[in-house]
Structure 1
Amino acid sequence: MNSQTKAAGVILAGGRAMRMNNQDKGLVSFRGRPMISYAIAALAPIVDCVFINANRNIDLYRQFGWPVISDQSDSFDGPLAGILSAMIHADADVLIVIPCDSPFIKTEHLRKLLLSRAENNAGVAVAFDGIRLHPVFLAIKTTLQTSLQEYLADGQRKVADWLAQQDFVTVDFSDEPEIFININTMTELSMLETTNNFS
Protein backbone atom coordinates (compact mmCIF):
# COMPACT_ATOMS: atom_id res chain seq x y z
CA MET A 1 0.00 0.00 0.00
CA ASN A 2 1.24 3.47 -0.85
CA SER A 3 2.40 5.21 2.30
CA GLN A 4 0.33 8.23 1.27
CA THR A 5 -2.90 6.26 1.18
CA LYS A 6 -5.17 7.17 4.07
CA ALA A 7 -7.52 4.53 5.41
CA ALA A 8 -10.57 4.73 7.62
CA GLY A 9 -12.69 1.92 8.97
CA VAL A 10 -16.39 1.45 9.58
CA ILE A 11 -18.04 -1.10 11.85
CA LEU A 12 -21.57 -1.91 10.74
CA ALA A 13 -23.80 -1.93 13.81
CA GLY A 14 -26.87 -0.28 12.33
CA GLY A 15 -29.21 -3.23 11.89
CA ARG A 16 -32.29 -4.24 13.85
CA ALA A 17 -30.90 -7.68 14.88
CA MET A 18 -34.36 -9.23 14.68
CA ARG A 19 -32.99 -12.76 15.12
CA MET A 20 -31.44 -11.67 18.40
CA ASN A 21 -34.72 -10.38 19.84
CA ASN A 22 -33.87 -6.88 18.58
CA GLN A 23 -30.93 -6.59 20.96
CA ASP A 24 -28.19 -4.29 19.71
CA LYS A 25 -25.64 -6.90 18.65
CA GLY A 26 -22.61 -4.69 18.98
CA LEU A 27 -23.39 -4.17 22.65
CA VAL A 28 -24.13 -7.81 23.46
CA SER A 29 -21.43 -9.40 25.62
CA PHE A 30 -19.29 -12.17 24.13
CA ARG A 31 -16.64 -13.75 26.35
CA GLY A 32 -16.88 -10.84 28.76
CA ARG A 33 -16.63 -8.01 26.22
CA PRO A 34 -19.12 -6.15 24.01
CA MET A 35 -18.98 -7.68 20.55
CA ILE A 36 -18.09 -4.41 18.91
CA SER A 37 -14.90 -4.22 20.99
CA TYR A 38 -13.44 -7.09 18.94
CA ALA A 39 -14.06 -5.18 15.71
CA ILE A 40 -12.51 -2.01 17.14
CA ALA A 41 -9.43 -3.94 18.25
CA ALA A 42 -9.02 -5.40 14.76
CA LEU A 43 -9.46 -2.10 12.92
CA ALA A 44 -7.80 0.53 15.07
CA PRO A 45 -4.13 -0.42 14.41
CA ILE A 46 -4.39 0.08 10.64
CA VAL A 47 -6.72 3.06 10.14
CA ASP A 48 -6.67 6.75 10.95
CA CYS A 49 -10.26 6.70 12.21
CA VAL A 50 -12.83 4.07 13.17
CA PHE A 51 -16.45 4.98 12.49
CA ILE A 52 -19.21 3.12 14.29
CA ASN A 53 -22.33 2.97 12.13
CA ALA A 54 -25.27 2.76 14.54
CA ASN A 55 -28.91 3.80 14.36
CA ARG A 56 -29.81 3.37 18.03
CA ASN A 57 -28.05 3.47 21.42
CA ILE A 58 -25.86 6.23 20.02
CA ASP A 59 -24.67 7.44 23.42
CA LEU A 60 -23.63 3.93 24.45
CA TYR A 61 -21.58 3.51 21.28
CA ARG A 62 -19.90 6.89 21.81
CA GLN A 63 -18.41 5.50 25.02
CA PHE A 64 -16.01 3.42 22.89
CA GLY A 65 -14.19 6.62 21.96
CA TRP A 66 -14.75 6.73 18.20
CA PRO A 67 -17.18 8.76 16.05
CA VAL A 68 -20.67 7.30 15.76
CA ILE A 69 -22.47 7.87 12.47
CA SER A 70 -26.01 6.96 11.50
CA ASP A 71 -27.53 6.12 8.13
CA GLN A 72 -28.67 9.03 5.99
CA SER A 73 -32.26 7.79 6.35
CA ASP A 74 -34.10 6.22 9.28
CA SER A 75 -35.45 3.25 7.32
CA PHE A 76 -32.71 0.70 8.19
CA ASP A 77 -31.59 0.31 4.57
CA GLY A 78 -28.93 -2.30 5.23
CA PRO A 79 -25.13 -2.44 5.12
CA LEU A 80 -24.70 -0.23 2.06
CA ALA A 81 -26.41 2.67 3.83
CA GLY A 82 -23.86 2.42 6.62
CA ILE A 83 -21.00 2.20 4.14
CA LEU A 84 -22.26 5.31 2.33
CA SER A 85 -22.52 7.25 5.58
CA ALA A 86 -18.91 6.35 6.39
CA MET A 87 -17.75 7.38 2.92
CA ILE A 88 -19.40 10.77 3.39
CA HIS A 89 -17.70 11.32 6.75
CA ALA A 90 -14.30 9.78 6.06
CA ASP A 91 -11.27 11.86 5.17
CA ALA A 92 -9.59 8.86 3.60
CA ASP A 93 -8.80 7.20 0.29
CA VAL A 94 -9.89 3.73 1.36
CA LEU A 95 -12.58 2.47 3.71
CA ILE A 96 -12.30 -0.90 5.47
CA VAL A 97 -15.73 -2.36 6.23
CA ILE A 98 -16.52 -5.02 8.84
CA PRO A 99 -19.65 -6.06 10.76
CA CYS A 100 -20.00 -5.75 14.53
CA ASP A 101 -20.85 -9.42 15.09
CA SER A 102 -17.80 -11.33 13.82
CA PRO A 103 -15.45 -11.46 16.81
CA PHE A 104 -12.82 -13.74 15.24
CA ILE A 105 -11.56 -11.19 12.68
CA LYS A 106 -8.07 -9.90 13.47
CA THR A 107 -5.95 -7.00 12.30
CA GLU A 108 -3.87 -9.20 9.97
CA HIS A 109 -7.00 -10.22 8.05
CA LEU A 110 -8.01 -6.62 7.48
CA ARG A 111 -4.47 -5.68 6.49
CA LYS A 112 -4.61 -8.43 3.86
CA LEU A 113 -7.79 -6.89 2.41
CA LEU A 114 -6.19 -3.46 2.36
CA LEU A 115 -3.00 -4.62 0.67
CA SER A 116 -4.79 -6.79 -1.90
CA ARG A 117 -6.93 -3.87 -3.02
CA ALA A 118 -3.86 -1.66 -3.43
CA GLU A 119 -1.72 -4.30 -5.17
CA ASN A 120 -4.47 -4.97 -7.72
CA ASN A 121 -5.44 -1.29 -8.04
CA ALA A 122 -9.04 -2.42 -7.60
CA GLY A 123 -12.04 -0.39 -6.56
CA VAL A 124 -12.99 -2.98 -3.97
CA ALA A 125 -11.39 -5.96 -2.27
CA VAL A 126 -13.88 -8.49 -0.90
CA ALA A 127 -13.19 -11.45 1.37
CA PHE A 128 -13.60 -15.00 0.02
CA ASP A 129 -13.58 -18.10 2.24
CA GLY A 130 -13.00 -20.64 -0.53
CA ILE A 131 -16.70 -21.24 -1.08
CA ARG A 132 -18.42 -17.87 -1.03
CA LEU A 133 -17.83 -14.15 -0.86
CA HIS A 134 -18.33 -12.24 2.37
CA PRO A 135 -19.56 -8.87 1.09
CA VAL A 136 -19.46 -7.03 4.42
CA PHE A 137 -15.71 -7.62 4.76
CA LEU A 138 -14.36 -5.07 2.30
CA ALA A 139 -11.72 -2.53 1.44
CA ILE A 140 -13.30 0.14 -0.78
CA LYS A 141 -12.01 3.22 -2.55
CA THR A 142 -14.00 6.17 -1.25
CA THR A 143 -14.20 7.55 -4.79
CA LEU A 144 -17.00 5.00 -5.30
CA GLN A 145 -19.29 7.15 -3.15
CA THR A 146 -21.21 8.52 -6.15
CA SER A 147 -21.78 5.05 -7.56
CA LEU A 148 -23.12 3.88 -4.21
CA GLN A 149 -25.34 6.93 -3.77
CA GLU A 150 -26.90 6.36 -7.19
CA TYR A 151 -27.42 2.66 -6.49
CA LEU A 152 -29.23 3.35 -3.22
CA ALA A 153 -31.23 6.22 -4.74
CA ASP A 154 -32.48 3.73 -7.32
CA GLY A 155 -33.99 1.66 -4.51
CA GLN A 156 -31.35 -1.06 -4.62
CA ARG A 157 -30.03 -2.57 -1.38
CA LYS A 158 -28.10 -5.79 -2.12
CA VAL A 159 -24.39 -5.53 -1.44
CA ALA A 160 -23.47 -8.33 -3.85
CA ASP A 161 -25.33 -6.68 -6.73
CA TRP A 162 -23.54 -3.38 -6.17
CA LEU A 163 -20.19 -5.16 -5.97
CA ALA A 164 -20.90 -6.87 -9.28
CA GLN A 165 -20.97 -3.42 -10.90
CA GLN A 166 -17.51 -2.55 -9.56
CA ASP A 167 -13.93 -3.46 -10.39
CA PHE A 168 -13.34 -5.80 -7.47
CA VAL A 169 -10.75 -8.36 -6.43
CA THR A 170 -11.42 -11.36 -4.21
CA VAL A 171 -9.09 -11.99 -1.28
CA ASP A 172 -8.61 -15.64 -0.41
CA PHE A 173 -9.05 -16.68 3.22
CA SER A 174 -9.83 -20.32 2.44
CA ASP A 175 -7.20 -21.49 4.92
CA GLU A 176 -9.21 -20.06 7.83
CA PRO A 177 -12.89 -19.68 6.85
CA GLU A 178 -13.95 -19.77 10.50
CA ILE A 179 -12.88 -16.14 10.95
CA PHE A 180 -16.09 -15.08 9.21
CA ILE A 181 -18.40 -16.75 11.72
CA ASN A 182 -20.93 -14.19 12.84
CA ILE A 183 -23.35 -14.32 15.74
CA ASN A 184 -27.00 -13.86 14.83
CA THR A 185 -28.89 -15.54 17.66
CA MET A 186 -28.57 -16.03 21.39
CA THR A 187 -28.21 -19.77 20.74
CA GLU A 188 -25.19 -19.16 18.51
CA LEU A 189 -23.79 -16.83 21.13
CA SER A 190 -24.08 -19.47 23.84
CA MET A 191 -22.47 -22.15 21.66
CA LEU A 192 -19.52 -19.97 20.69
CA GLU A 193 -19.01 -18.71 24.23
CA THR A 194 -17.84 -22.15 25.30
CA THR A 195 -16.10 -23.51 22.21
CA ASN A 196 -12.32 -23.60 22.17
CA ASN A 197 -12.04 -24.07 18.41
CA PHE A 198 -11.52 -20.39 17.70
CA SER A 199 -9.60 -17.72 19.52
Structure 2
Amino acid sequence: MAREAITGLVLAGGQGRRMGGQDKGLLTLHGQALAARALQRLAPQVGATALSANRHLADYQALGVPVWPDTLPDQPGPLAGLLTGMTHAQTPWLASVPCDCPDFPTDLVARLAAAAAAQQADLAVAVAPAPDEAGRWAPKLHPVFCMARTALRADLAAYLGQGGRRVRDWLGRHRTVEVAFDDGAAFLNVNTPEDLARRHAG
Protein backbone atom coordinates (compact mmCIF):
# COMPACT_ATOMS: atom_id res chain seq x y z
CA MET A 1 0.00 0.00 0.00
CA ALA A 2 1.41 3.37 -1.02
CA ARG A 3 1.79 5.88 1.78
CA GLU A 4 0.04 8.45 -0.44
CA ALA A 5 -3.15 6.43 0.19
CA ILE A 6 -2.92 7.17 3.93
CA THR A 7 -3.70 10.31 5.92
CA GLY A 8 -1.97 10.46 9.29
CA LEU A 9 -3.91 11.94 12.19
CA VAL A 10 -2.47 12.99 15.55
CA LEU A 11 -5.18 12.78 18.23
CA ALA A 12 -4.91 15.77 20.58
CA GLY A 13 -8.57 16.34 21.42
CA GLY A 14 -8.67 14.90 24.93
CA GLN A 15 -9.40 16.74 28.14
CA GLY A 16 -6.11 15.86 29.87
CA ARG A 17 -7.76 14.94 33.17
CA ARG A 18 -4.70 13.16 34.55
CA MET A 19 -2.63 16.21 33.58
CA GLY A 20 -4.84 18.47 35.68
CA GLY A 21 -6.77 19.57 32.62
CA GLN A 22 -3.72 20.73 30.69
CA ASP A 23 -3.77 20.34 26.92
CA LYS A 24 -1.30 17.48 26.57
CA GLY A 25 -0.44 18.08 22.95
CA LEU A 26 0.99 21.50 23.81
CA LEU A 27 3.14 20.33 26.72
CA THR A 28 6.80 20.33 25.80
CA LEU A 29 9.41 17.59 25.91
CA HIS A 30 12.99 18.74 25.32
CA GLY A 31 11.71 22.05 24.00
CA GLN A 32 9.19 20.62 21.53
CA ALA A 33 5.42 20.33 21.90
CA LEU A 34 4.28 16.73 22.15
CA ALA A 35 1.91 17.19 19.22
CA ALA A 36 4.70 18.65 17.07
CA ARG A 37 6.91 15.70 17.93
CA ALA A 38 4.18 13.25 16.98
CA LEU A 39 3.56 15.03 13.68
CA GLN A 40 7.26 15.02 12.89
CA ARG A 41 7.46 11.29 13.58
CA LEU A 42 4.30 10.48 11.63
CA ALA A 43 4.82 12.64 8.52
CA PRO A 44 7.41 10.42 6.75
CA GLN A 45 5.11 7.42 7.19
CA VAL A 46 2.00 8.83 5.44
CA GLY A 47 0.94 10.93 2.46
CA ALA A 48 -0.60 13.80 4.43
CA THR A 49 -0.93 14.74 8.09
CA ALA A 50 -3.57 16.49 10.18
CA LEU A 51 -4.38 17.04 13.82
CA SER A 52 -7.52 16.43 15.87
CA ALA A 53 -7.93 19.08 18.60
CA ASN A 54 -10.72 20.81 20.50
CA ARG A 55 -8.88 23.54 22.41
CA HIS A 56 -6.18 26.11 21.66
CA LEU A 57 -6.84 25.70 17.95
CA ALA A 58 -4.64 28.63 16.94
CA ASP A 59 -1.67 27.09 18.75
CA TYR A 60 -2.19 23.82 16.92
CA GLN A 61 -2.69 25.56 13.57
CA ALA A 62 0.71 27.14 14.08
CA LEU A 63 2.20 23.66 13.67
CA GLY A 64 1.42 23.93 9.96
CA VAL A 65 -1.11 21.16 9.37
CA PRO A 66 -4.92 21.10 9.11
CA VAL A 67 -6.60 21.08 12.54
CA TRP A 68 -9.94 19.30 12.77
CA PRO A 69 -12.13 19.73 15.89
CA ASP A 70 -14.63 17.04 16.82
CA THR A 71 -17.84 17.11 14.83
CA LEU A 72 -19.64 15.78 17.94
CA PRO A 73 -20.24 17.80 21.14
CA ASP A 74 -18.79 17.16 24.61
CA GLN A 75 -15.50 15.58 23.46
CA PRO A 76 -16.72 11.97 23.64
CA GLY A 77 -13.27 10.40 23.25
CA PRO A 78 -10.76 9.22 20.63
CA LEU A 79 -13.41 7.70 18.37
CA ALA A 80 -14.84 11.19 17.83
CA GLY A 81 -11.43 12.33 16.65
CA LEU A 82 -11.19 9.31 14.39
CA LEU A 83 -14.61 10.08 12.91
CA THR A 84 -13.59 13.67 12.22
CA GLY A 85 -10.42 12.42 10.53
CA MET A 86 -12.38 10.00 8.37
CA THR A 87 -14.80 12.78 7.42
CA HIS A 88 -12.07 15.17 6.28
CA ALA A 89 -9.46 12.79 4.85
CA GLN A 90 -9.18 12.61 1.08
CA THR A 91 -7.53 9.19 1.15
CA PRO A 92 -8.93 5.64 1.47
CA TRP A 93 -7.04 5.05 4.72
CA LEU A 94 -6.51 6.95 7.96
CA ALA A 95 -3.74 6.18 10.45
CA SER A 96 -4.10 7.60 13.97
CA VAL A 97 -1.63 8.08 16.81
CA PRO A 98 -2.07 9.82 20.19
CA CYS A 99 -0.26 13.09 20.79
CA ASP A 100 1.14 11.90 24.13
CA CYS A 101 3.31 9.02 22.92
CA PRO A 102 6.56 10.67 21.80
CA ASP A 103 8.51 7.59 20.70
CA PHE A 104 6.12 5.44 18.67
CA PRO A 105 7.81 3.28 16.00
CA THR A 106 9.01 4.88 12.78
CA ASP A 107 7.70 1.84 10.88
CA LEU A 108 4.30 1.85 12.62
CA VAL A 109 2.17 2.75 9.61
CA ALA A 110 4.08 0.55 7.17
CA ARG A 111 3.54 -2.49 9.38
CA LEU A 112 -0.14 -1.72 10.02
CA ALA A 113 -0.68 -1.19 6.29
CA ALA A 114 1.09 -4.40 5.33
CA ALA A 115 -0.98 -6.42 7.77
CA ALA A 116 -4.25 -4.82 6.64
CA ALA A 117 -3.43 -5.56 3.02
CA ALA A 118 -2.32 -9.13 3.70
CA GLN A 119 -5.46 -9.93 5.71
CA GLN A 120 -7.82 -7.81 3.58
CA ALA A 121 -8.81 -6.17 6.85
CA ASP A 122 -10.78 -2.99 7.44
CA LEU A 123 -8.70 -2.02 10.46
CA ALA A 124 -5.24 -2.73 11.84
CA VAL A 125 -4.21 -1.98 15.43
CA ALA A 126 -0.97 -2.27 17.37
CA VAL A 127 -0.28 -4.79 20.14
CA ALA A 128 2.82 -4.33 22.29
CA PRO A 129 4.06 -5.20 25.79
CA ALA A 130 2.90 -2.84 28.53
CA PRO A 131 3.45 -2.85 32.31
CA ASP A 132 0.59 -3.89 34.60
CA GLU A 133 0.03 -2.55 38.11
CA ALA A 134 2.66 -4.93 39.46
CA GLY A 135 5.21 -3.80 36.91
CA ARG A 136 5.05 -6.98 34.86
CA TRP A 137 5.07 -6.52 31.10
CA ALA A 138 2.46 -8.34 29.03
CA PRO A 139 0.99 -7.88 25.53
CA LYS A 140 -1.64 -5.15 25.37
CA LEU A 141 -3.86 -3.81 22.63
CA HIS A 142 -3.14 -0.15 21.82
CA PRO A 143 -6.33 0.69 19.91
CA VAL A 144 -5.62 4.36 19.22
CA PHE A 145 -2.58 3.27 17.20
CA CYS A 146 -4.99 2.39 14.47
CA MET A 147 -5.24 2.25 10.71
CA ALA A 148 -8.78 2.32 9.32
CA ARG A 149 -10.59 2.47 6.03
CA THR A 150 -12.19 5.90 5.76
CA ALA A 151 -15.22 4.18 4.20
CA LEU A 152 -16.11 3.12 7.76
CA ARG A 153 -17.12 6.69 8.65
CA ALA A 154 -20.87 6.03 8.38
CA ASP A 155 -20.68 2.98 10.63
CA LEU A 156 -18.57 4.84 13.18
CA ALA A 157 -21.00 7.77 13.16
CA ALA A 158 -23.87 5.34 13.79
CA TYR A 159 -21.97 3.65 16.64
CA LEU A 160 -21.25 6.98 18.32
CA GLY A 161 -24.81 8.14 17.70
CA GLN A 162 -26.05 5.10 19.62
CA GLY A 163 -23.91 6.11 22.60
CA GLY A 164 -20.97 3.82 21.87
CA ARG A 165 -17.62 5.06 23.18
CA ARG A 166 -15.29 2.07 23.58
CA VAL A 167 -12.71 1.77 20.82
CA ARG A 168 -12.40 -1.98 21.30
CA ASP A 169 -16.14 -2.52 20.93
CA TRP A 170 -16.17 -0.64 17.66
CA LEU A 171 -13.15 -2.56 16.38
CA GLY A 172 -15.05 -5.76 17.11
CA ARG A 173 -17.72 -4.78 14.58
CA HIS A 174 -15.24 -5.08 11.71
CA ARG A 175 -12.50 -7.24 10.26
CA THR A 176 -9.59 -6.12 12.43
CA VAL A 177 -6.02 -7.41 12.38
CA GLU A 178 -3.75 -7.05 15.41
CA VAL A 179 -0.10 -6.27 14.66
CA ALA A 180 2.52 -7.26 17.24
CA PHE A 181 5.39 -4.92 18.09
CA ASP A 182 8.22 -6.03 20.38
CA ASP A 183 9.27 -2.67 21.83
CA GLY A 184 6.67 -1.88 24.47
CA ALA A 185 8.54 1.24 25.60
CA ALA A 186 7.82 2.84 22.22
CA PHE A 187 4.12 2.86 23.09
CA LEU A 188 4.35 4.36 26.58
CA ASN A 189 2.15 7.43 26.99
CA VAL A 190 2.79 10.65 28.87
CA ASN A 191 -0.35 10.65 31.00
CA THR A 192 0.68 12.47 34.18
CA PRO A 193 3.11 15.21 35.24
CA GLU A 194 5.27 12.44 36.71
CA ASP A 195 5.42 10.67 33.35
CA LEU A 196 6.56 13.89 31.68
CA ALA A 197 9.20 14.50 34.36
CA ARG A 198 10.58 10.98 33.81
CA ARG A 199 10.84 11.61 30.06
CA HIS A 200 12.72 14.85 30.69
CA ALA A 201 15.11 13.03 32.98
CA GLY A 202 15.58 10.08 30.64
Matching residue's letter, 1:51:
A
Gap regions ≥5 residues in structure 2: 130-138
Q: Does residue 191 of structure 1 match 2:198? A: yes
**Does the aligned pair in 2 maintain the 1:41–1:107 contact within 8 Å?**
no
Q: Give 2:63's aligned residue.
A: 64
CA apart distance, 1:74: 2.7
Aligned pairs (5 A) from 1:24-63 = 24-63=23-62
- For the 8 Å contact 1:13–1:26, the answer to whether it is kept is yes
1:101 partnered with 2:97 = no
CA distance, structure 2, for counterparts of residue 62 and residue 111 of structure 1: 27
CA distance in 1, matches of 2:30, 2:3: 37
Is 2:156 the counterpart of 1:154? Answer: no
Once the two structures are superposed, residues 49-86 of structure 1 have per-residue CA deviations (whole angstroms, 9 ceiling, x without a partner) of: 21100000000000111000000123011000000001
Mapped contact 1:5–1:94 kept (Cα < 8 A): no
* 5+ residue gaps, structure 1: none
Q: Distance in 2 between matches of 1:5 and 1:17?
A: 32
Q: Greater strand share, 1 or 2?
A: 2
**Distance in structure 2 (CA, Å) of the matches to 1:165 and 1:73:** 21
SS at match of 2:170: helix
- Report which stretch shifted further, 4-13 or 113-122: 4-13
Counterpart for residue 114 of structure 1: 113
Partner residue, 2:176:
168
- The one-character-per-residue Cα deviations of 1:122-173 (angstroms, maximum 9, x if unpaired) are 0000000151110000111111111101100101111011011110000010
Deviating 4+ runs (over 2 angstroms):
none
Mapped to 2, the partners of 1:145 and 1:158 lie a distance apart of: 16
Normalised by the size of structure 1, how large is the TM-score?
0.93
Aligned residues: 193
- Please give the alpha-carbon distance, in whole angstroms, between the structure 2 residues aligned to 1:5 and 1:33: 27
Which amino acid is 2:104 matched to?
A: I
Task: Give the share of equivalent positions with the same residue, in percent.
Answer: 38
**Residue in structure 1 matched with residue 134 of structure 2 by the alignment:** none
**Contact (CA 8 Å) 1:5, 1:93: kept in 2 or not?**
no
Aligned-residue CA RMSD in angstroms? 1.3
Contact 1:54 1:69 survives alignment (8 Å): yes
Query: Is residue 126–residue 133 contact of structure 1 (8 Å, CA) maintained in 2?
Result: yes
With 136-145 and 39-48 compared, the bigger mean Cα shift is at 39-48
The alignment's TM-score, normalised by the length of structure 2, stands at 0.92
SS at match of 1:193: helix
Aligned partners of 2:4 and 2:47 also within 8 Å:
no
Q: Give the Å deviation of 1:178.
A: 0.9
